[in-house]
């Protein structure tokens, strides 16, 4: 069959990654001439299912007690059952931790093929092709997935959301006997501090590296700049390993892969491992004292200078621009 299944988890919600997943699934199903099925697992799925109903042909919700909270083996068993019954050409998942854990095992159970961190999915001459970054983001590999179903998880913010359709899909709540597998189970959950969106979802990122010199400048210099830009804070592995900032801020090959509109790299040299995490950024700007730093080969805007001289000036200019905008006649109440 030429149908496509997208798998989403209620605990993640309809974030930018999930919207991109729905868009990729809709476009792929249309290219194949098939139908798009959404499978939503977990407690509190109704809102997410309603969002998906405007994009998909069918929406299946699995929120019975055994599937209320994430347990890898049990959720995998449920997805194997759903996908086995639908017999899709491809199964797409988002780039969240659950999807990355489940995708390769789901492909094995279904007898299909698996690939992750994909930035493009397309059909050429009836063949399913996917693209992903290789060699630390220096090149892009195009892979032909010959064994169906192709189980693929997508890089966040690499795909545009879909256009809502006039026709709304029927939402089906599936209730069935599910094998609860207790060989592995979640014994504790720790949530990151709230108040900020996920780094993978950020439109603007201010990131610091080893050249920042210590933990204090992240708070006194970079954070105020990020606040003025409406940006998220991030860091290189060196800064995280030094304990200057939380490990959840790490961007790079062994950290988070981000796709912001603007990535401002401050005192980051731009080693290949770091560039692997920002290769999909729309615009990279850099501040570094070393004119030969690799980051300058990749950035659109670069300043060779000590960040302690540049960042205060940037903050001053941004604050002046914001004050001027707030005082302009167009911004006055009517």
**Do residue 152 and residue 275 come from a single domain?**
no
Query: pLDDT value at position 334?
Result: 44
> Rounded CA gap, 205 and 25, in Å?
28
Main-chain dihedrals φ then ψ at residue 157, nearest 5 degrees:
65, 15
**Do residue 208 and residue 293 come from a single domain?**
yes
**Do residue 163 and residue 236 come from a single domain?**
no
**Do residue 156 and residue 13 come from a single domain?**
yes
Q: Let me know if residue 121 belongs to a domain.
A: yes
DSSP letter at 94?
A: -
**Do residue 147 and residue 203 come from a single domain?**
no
Written as tens digits, the pLDDT of the chain (334 aa) is 799 999 999 888 888 888 999 999 999 999 999 999 999 998 888 889 999 999 999 999 998 888 888 888 999 999 999 999 999 999 999 988 889 999 999 999 999 999 999 999 999 988 999 999 887 777 889 999 999 999 999 988 889 998 888 889 989 998 888 777 777 777 887 766 544 677 888 999 999 999 999 999 999 999 999 999 999 999 999 999 999 999 999 999 889 989 899 999 999 999 988 998 998 899 999 999 999 999 999 999 999 999 999 999 999 999 998 887 666 655 544 4
Query: pLDDT value at position 196?
Result: 62
**Do residue 233 and residue 299 come from a single domain?**
yes
Query: pLDDT value at position 307?
Result: 96
Q: Strand 113-124's sheet: what is its strand order?
A: 139-144, 127-134, 113-124, 150-154, 90-93, 4-9, 36-41, 58-62, 170-173
Q: Let me know if residue 41 belongs to a domain.
A: yes
- Do 142 and 130 form a contact (C-beta atoms < 8 A)? yes
Q: Let me know if residue 285 belongs to a domain.
A: yes
To the nearest 10°, report the CA torsion of 72, 73, 77, 83. Answer: 40
**Do residue 31 and residue 122 come from a single domain?**
yes
Q: Give the residue from 303, 286, 309, 311 showing the smallest Cα distance to 219.
A: 311
- The H or E element containing residue 327 is helix 307-327
Query: pLDDT value at position 192?
Result: 62
User: What is the CATH number for 143?
Assistant: 3.40.50.620
Stated length of the chain: 334
> Rounded CA gap, 91 and 78, in Å?
14
- pTM check: above 0.95: no
Residue 4 three-state SS = strand
Main-chain dihedrals φ then ψ at residue 78, nearest 5 degrees:
-65, -45
**Do residue 162 and residue 245 come from a single domain?**
no
**Do residue 17 and residue 124 come from a single domain?**
yes
Query: pLDDT value at position 327?
Result: 66
> Rounded CA gap, 297 and 330, in Å?
41
Q: Let me know if residue 218 belongs to a domain.
A: yes
Q: Let me know if residue 321 belongs to a domain.
A: yes
Domain count, the chain: 2
**Do residue 136 and residue 277 come from a single domain?**
no
DSSP letter at 42?
A: S
Structure tokens given for 99: 């999807």
**Do residue 105 and residue 230 come from a single domain?**
no
Q: Let me know if residue 208 belongs to a domain.
A: yes
Q: Give the residue from 16, 19, 58, 12 showing the smallest Cα distance to 39.
A: 58
- The H or E element containing residue 217 is helix 216-217
User: What is the CATH number for 268?
Assistant: 3.40.50.1220
> Rounded CA gap, 41 and 10, in Å?
6
Q: Let me know if residue 258 belongs to a domain.
A: yes
Query: pLDDT value at position 329?
Result: 58
- Quickly count: other Cβ atoms within 10 Å of residue 87's Cβ: 12
> Rounded CA gap, 114 and 120, in Å?
14
Q: Let me know if residue 229 belongs to a domain.
A: yes
Residue 238 three-state SS = helix
- Do 29 and 114 form a contact (C-beta atoms < 8 A)? no
- Do 34 and 56 form a contact (C-beta atoms < 8 A)? no
Query: pLDDT value at position 332?
Result: 47
> Rounded CA gap, 120 and 125, in Å?
16
Tell which of 173, 208, 225 closes a domain. 173
The domain in which residue 103 lies consists of: 4-173
Q: What contacts 264, CB < 8 A, 6 or more positions away?
A: 204, 205, 206, 207, 225, 229, 231, 285, 286, 287
**Do residue 125 and residue 268 come from a single domain?**
no
Query: pLDDT value at position 300?
Result: 95
């Amino acid at each position: 069959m030429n149908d496509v299944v997208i798998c989403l988890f209620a605990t993640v919600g309809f974030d930018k990654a999930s919207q991109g997943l729905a868009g990729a699934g809709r476009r792929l199903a249309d290219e194949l001439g098939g139908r798009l099925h959404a499978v939503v697992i977990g407690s509190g799925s109704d809102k997410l299912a309603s969002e998906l109903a405007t994009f998909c042909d069918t929406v299946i919700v699995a929120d019975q007690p055994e599937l209320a909270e994430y347990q890898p083996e049990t959720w995998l068993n449920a997805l194997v059952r759903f996908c086995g019954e639908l017999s899709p050409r491809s199964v797409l998942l988002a780039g969240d931790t659950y999807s990355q854990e489940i995708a390769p095992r789901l492909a094995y159970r279904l007898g299909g093929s698996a690939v992750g961190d994909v930035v493009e999915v397309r059909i050429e001459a009836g063949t399913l092709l996917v693209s992903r970054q290789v060699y630390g983001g220096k090149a892009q590999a195009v892979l032909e997935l010959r064994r169906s179903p192709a189980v693929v998880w997508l890089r966040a913010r690499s795909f545009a959301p879909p256009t809502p359709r006039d026709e709304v899909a029927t939402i089906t709540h599936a209730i069935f006997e599910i094998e609860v597998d207790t060989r592995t189970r979640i014994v504790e959950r720790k949530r990151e501090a709230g108040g900020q969106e996920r780094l993978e979802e950020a439109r603007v990122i201010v990131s610091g590296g080893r050249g920042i010199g210590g933990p204090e400048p992240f708070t006194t210099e970079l954070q105020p700049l990020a606040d003025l830009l409406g940006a998220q804070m991030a860091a290189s592995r060196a800064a995280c390993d030094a304990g200057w900032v939380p490990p959840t801020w790490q961007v790079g090959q062994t950290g988070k892969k981000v796709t912001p509109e603007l990535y401002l790299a401050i005192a980051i040299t731009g080693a290949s491992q770091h560039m692997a995490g920002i290769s999909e950024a729309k615009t990279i700007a850099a501040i570094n004292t070393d004119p030969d730093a690799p980051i300058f080969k990749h950035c659109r805007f670069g300043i060779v200078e000590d960040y302690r001289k540049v960042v205060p000036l940037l903050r001053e200019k941004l604050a002046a621009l914001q004050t001027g905008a707030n005082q302009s006649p167009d911004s006055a109440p009517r």
